[in-house]
Amino acid sequence: MGAECHHPDGVHPGLKGSALNHALGAAEQRCAATQERLTAPRRRVLELLLESNSPQKAYDLIAAFGAHGEPAKPPTVYRALEFLERLGFAHRIESLNAYVPCRIDGQSHRAAFLICDCCGAADEFEPDFTAQLAAATKAGYQVSTITLEARGRCAACSAPASS
Amino acid sequence: MGAECHHPDGVHPGLKGSALNHALGAAEQRCAATQERLTAPRRRVLELLLESNSPQKAYDLIAAFGAHGEPAKPPTVYRALEFLERLGFAHRIESLNAYVPCRIDGQSHRAAFLICDCCGAADEFEPDFTAQLAAATKAGYQVSTITLEARGRCAACSAPASS
DNA sequence: ACACCTCCTGTTATGAGATAACATAACCGG
DNA sequence: CCGGTTATGTTATCTCATAACAGGAGGTGT
Ligand SMILES: [Zn+2]
Ligand SMILES: [Zn+2]
Ligand SMILES: [Zn+2]
Ligand SMILES: [Zn+2]
């Protein structure tokens, strides 16, 4: 039984209140340290990502951007996402056309995701790419970035249905 | 000098003539063995992928589909691509929104790509996902598929410019 | 302050990628 | 031949992303 499961979205809680402010403050500091500017629209998009509990589509962010339900114009959000990705504050999940805030502290890094096909959760983890980098070098490639996306079921969604 | 290089597309030669027919024949046989049908549009899309020397966009395939320059309708090609992916005859490269024929013989497998940002080549290789699968298991995930895409420069494009 | 440059933003419009929905046709087993 | 199943044809629409250009904010040197 339970060929389909319908767990609600969300594995990450989504930040609120002081935790959210703290994360945004930390981002400001990291920007200041590198002469980058966390401007209003960039900060707002990062805030939306941090608040959410699941990967966000660009047009979800566009719709949620304004304080009173006013949407943003697409370039506003896409530019902010480009900035956030460049600085390592956010990642794009290619197989979902969606974005998540970086959950791994520290600077820019190679990202990898475990994506649950059931509840939509996307867990970032620190990948060990030693084997693949060796293969790339052997093939004569100079690798600059790697993305890995694993699809499957998270622990909660693999558990037997309670109903 | 040489901040940009402009090598022509293509690392894979692209199949022609008897090699192409042989590959298509092999695909027919694999389909027959599993009660699947390599119908005309599916065969045509596979042919276009095999002929090409670089990842093909869906709308490139749509434009090239007809024998006399007549384009296909989008669903025709997207359905064929879905079939070819399902059977392991083709792979989608998420970070390019493009498709390649599988270059690794045998049945369905986990794919990984080395993608050259300079010439656009996409080399498929057999990945060793041992480390990542271990990490996924540790996190409680049951992984069904993995895709890995490494960006960088191929051997030819890393070589010093001749000009 | 001023001129200057650079980076960022606002806005309009458009391009690229993918799918929904429904009707028709081919295939296959009985 | 009939009926279920699978695949195709066709129209329309949806989602995702960027080009292009005008204007504003923030620095730097004089
Ligand atoms: Zn991260
Ligand atoms: Zn789940
Ligand atoms: Zn393959
Ligand atoms: Zn190259």
Å between A138 CA and D11 C1'?
A: 50
Is residue B5 a part of any domain in this protein? no
Is residue A33 a part of any domain in this protein? yes
Is residue A131 a part of any domain in this protein? yes
* Overall domain count for chain B: 1
pTM (predicted TM-score): 0.92
Is residue A113 a part of any domain in this protein? yes
Q: Which band of pLDDT confidence, cut at 50, 70 and 90, is reported for residue B136?
A: very high
Is residue A112 a part of any domain in this protein? yes
Going from the Cα of A15 to the center of ligand 1, the distance in angstroms, rounded, reads: 16
pLDDT in tens, chain A (163 residues): 444 556 665 567 789 999 999 999 999 999 999 999 999 999 999 999 999 999 999 999 999 999 898 999 999 999 999 999 999 999 999 999 999 999 987 666 788 999 999 999 999 999 999 999 999 999 999 999 999 999 999 999 987 655 4
β-bridge mates for residue A152, sequence order = A116, B143
Is residue A120 a part of any domain in this protein? yes
Is residue A30 a part of any domain in this protein? yes
CA torsion angle B140 A114 B149 B97 (round to 10): 140
Q: Inter-chain contact B158–A142, Cβ cutoff 8 Å?
A: yes
Asked if the model's pLDDT at residue B7 lies above 90, the reply is no
CB < 8 Å to A143, chain B: 114, 150-152
- pLDDT for res B12: 72
| Chain A interface, best mutation among B115, B142, B143, B149, by max A CB count within 10 A | B142
- Structure confidence by residue, pLDDT tens digits, A35-53: 999 999 999 999 999 999 9
Is residue A5 a part of any domain in this protein? no
Q: What is the CATH number of the domain that holds A109?
A: 1.10.10.10
Which DSSP symbol is given to A147?
E
Nearest residue on chain B to A128, alpha-carbon basis: B131
Nearest residue on chain B to A156, alpha-carbon basis: B140
| Strand D contacted by B41 CB (< 7 A) | yes
Is residue B155 within 8 Å of A141, Cβ to Cβ?
A: yes
Please state, in angstroms and as integers, the Cα–Cα distance from residue B104 to each residue in A65, B14, B148, following that order.
45, 14, 15
Q: Which helix (H) or strand (E) holds A137?
A: helix A130-138
Structural domain that includes position B31: 17-158
